[in-house]
Amino acid sequence: MVSFEHLTRELERTGHRRLVVLTGDEQWTLSQAAGLRDALPGDWLWLEENPSKAVSGLLGREYLHAVFDARVGFDVSAFAALSGTLRAGSLLVLLVPPLADWADKPDGDSVRWSDSAEPIATPRFVHHFCRTLAADADAIVWQQHRPLSLPAAPDSPAWQPASGEPQREQAEILDALLTMPAGVAAVTAPRGRGKSALAGMLLNSIQGSAVVTAPAKGATDVIASFAGERFHFMAPDALLASTTEADWLIVDEAAAIPGPLLDKLVSRFPRVLLTTTVQGYEGTGRGFLLKFCARFSGLRRYTLTTPIRWAAGCPLERIVANTLLFDDALIDRKPEGDVRIRLLEPRMWESDPARVASVYELLCAAHYRTSPLDLRRMMDAPGQHFAVAHAGADMAGALWLVEEGGLPPELSRAVWAGFRRPRGNLVAQSLAAHGGSPLAATLKGRRISRIAVHPHRQREGIGQRLIRSVSGEDYLSVSFGYTDELWRFWRQCGFVLVRMGSHREASSGCYTAMALLPHSEAGHRLCAQEHQRLCRDMRVLSAWNGEKIPVTDAWEATLNSDDWLELAGFAFAHRAFSTSVAALTRLVLATDMPLPALRGKIEGKTEEMGRKALLAKLRSETAQALESLDYSRCQQLKADILQWQFFQ
């Protein structure tokens, strides 16, 4: 029998890495993993609790051998990230529950992506992973109570590790970058292809000055090792806040930096090199080029394909890519022929996995924030629905919907008042928490989580056809980072704007907008009510945000019954100031009381007190003003709203 010692020697010779799955009870799996660690020299990283946090400090470095404990929960992003840190000759040992029990066992990682309060079983992902293992002859599955047989390493040629000198692909790109006039260049590649090394070589070769930035300094160790004394790092936010100038800006793992921040950084420097991982676990992919980089008309694109940390055809890289569907080749092939719309349900992961996988692959290509968390959500989270547009056998478009709403009236009122924030229900909760109706979250809708049309089939109305093919019980909803272009699309699809957020999102630099497409009579009433509220408040909200809201200005200076309810919610519960600011503006117009904190806040003056103390003062002054206007009405509203906090 082939021993692990012999296997690792062969892996070192051929430049490959292998996955070893240990499956059995806790004591047995831990014992076997410890035995391997003791028998084989190496770093033996061991990830179990909070693996995402642990692995973030490892990126950009190289290790020999690792153990990933997935028995309680399987964080697949961290698993993939760990695999990317292992050098040639490594084993990645994965601990999982007994295979017979695994599909029915709650996965502790699921609370991050399922919107469930408790861990849920993830049978579709487990079956998918097991199918992937079974189809790969190089995967080693070591089961308790079963004999182990290690596959012999194939008769591959000996691998020549990189010498530190530029490889052919690196040298060609390096020559192009060194002669590049002012502009932006992007180098993309799967992990382990030498992007960071290339950036370090560039630093070491240029005549002028340069600064390096990245999501985390620890991930730039490889750049630093090639750059030597020319390495100068600044964190993205610190760099933006500084007056630093340089001939070159080098951004490592650029897609992991918020787009608005990256945009501002790029505009500051005459020459910029962006490097980022594609087919990766960071939620990047081809979408980075399609979305962010499309704004640079003279962008120079380069790709590295040849692995450097390990040999081509590495078994570990292959099985991670197959498990997490990193294949993005479908974006290069134009779907030909007439388009047909079809509904898919999550159960098709079992009956037609290739078809559903292509949905995920298209979404990855179109949205560079799509990540393996989304894959897990698509497979096993409750309330997921899909519509697809087929052109022959190819995927031309995809729509992903999530069930929302249907909360009990008592819970919806508690959400409105700010007493409760249950998991999930993004738009449904927002309609209650930021809208005018305490019962808004009782209605049932479906939120459009993602929509994508193949780049070669856009502007044919496929997106609109997908939306027309689906419905929610009461409404369809969408939440998006507001731009004129995006809103034009949603408006053409029949959506009505009902909310604009009060602050810019860090990831997009845009205000969050929410829109509804009503279907039922109750959905139409809610949509009309919330849109009217937005129109009535638009003047104040636009001034507060510094951004025009694209609705009709229907400002009213007098208080109505909706305002009274809103103001009571602010005074006696936990409604947010930003939600109530229009009603509060009308309140100060309706009373002669001094209300110094309230008037000062509305006028944008800063108070010399802490945030909590100021909010308490604002709520107190609002209560006083309401009492002065109509004491009995105020007390009745107060009594009603305070009852809403006792929902269990």
Say whether 448 counts as a known binding-site residue. Answer: no
> Residue 56 has what pLDDT?
76
Model confidence pLDDT, tens digit, residues 142-159:
999 999 988 876 778 899
**Percent of the chain at pLDDT exceeding 90:** 72
Q: Which stretch of 147-151, 258-262, 611-615 has the lowest confidence by average pLDDT?
A: 258-262
Alpha-carbon gap, residue 595 to 624, rounded angstroms: 9
Q: How would you classify the pairing of strands 384-391 and 339-344? A: antiparallel
Residue-by-residue DSSP string for 587-639: HHHH--S--HHHHHHHTTPPPSS-HHHHHHHHHHHHHHHHHHH-HHHHHHHHH
Mean pLDDT of 260-284: 80
Give per-residue burial for 30-44: e unless 16+ CB within 10 Å, then b.
bebbeebbeebebbb
> Residue 179 has what pLDDT?
94
Q: Which stretch of 23-37, 191-205, 286-300, 344-358 has the lowest confidence by average pLDDT?
A: 286-300
> Residue 248 has what pLDDT?
97
Backbone φ, ψ for residue 60 (5° rounding): 90, 0
Mean pLDDT of 442-465: 95
Between these two residues, 262 and 466, which has the higher pLDDT value? 466
pLDDT of residue 597 exceeding 70, the answer is yes
Residue-by-residue DSSP string for 95-147: EE--HHHHTTSEEGGGGGTS--SS-EE-HHHHHHHHHHHHH-TT-EEEETTS-
Tell me the average pLDDT of the chain: 91
- Tokens found for residue 217: 């300094």
Say whether 452 counts as a known binding-site residue. Answer: yes
Model confidence pLDDT, tens digit, residues 236-249:
999 999 999 999 99
Beta strands per DSSP E along 345-393: 384-391
Say whether 485 counts as a known binding-site residue. Answer: yes
Mean pLDDT of 620-645: 97
Say whether 120 counts as a known binding-site residue. Answer: no
Say whether 266 counts as a known binding-site residue. Answer: no
Between these two residues, 609 and 259, which has the higher pLDDT value? 609
User: pLDDT band for position 1 (50/70/90)?
Assistant: very low
> Residue 639 has what pLDDT?
97
> Residue 257 has what pLDDT?
82
**What DSSP state is assigned to residue 289?**
H
pLDDT of residue 293 exceeding 80, the answer is no
User: pLDDT band for position 646 (50/70/90)?
Assistant: confident
pLDDT of residue 465 exceeding 50, the answer is yes
Alpha-carbon gap, residue 435 to 562, rounded angstroms: 10
User: pLDDT band for position 499 (50/70/90)?
Assistant: very high
Give per-residue burial for 278-303: e unless 16+ CB within 10 Å, then b.
bbbbbbbbbbbbebbbeebeebeebe
Backbone φ, ψ for residue 571 (5° rounding): -70, -40
What's the residue count for the chain? 648
> Residue 648 has what pLDDT?
54
Q: Single out the residue of 223, 173, 215, 175 nearest to residue 196, CA to CA.
A: 223
C-alpha 301: how far from its chain's center?
A: 24
> Residue 156 has what pLDDT?
82
Model confidence pLDDT, tens digit, residues 507-566:
667 899 999 999 999 999 999 999 999 999 999 999 998 888 999 999 999 999 999 999
Whole-model pTM: value is: 0.89
User: pLDDT band for position 289 (50/70/90)?
Assistant: low
Alpha-carbon gap, residue 621 to 576, rounded angstroms: 15
> Residue 647 has what pLDDT?
67
Say whether 170 counts as a known binding-site residue. Answer: yes
Q: Which stretch of 330-344, 364-378, 422-436 has the lowest confidence by average pLDDT?
A: 364-378
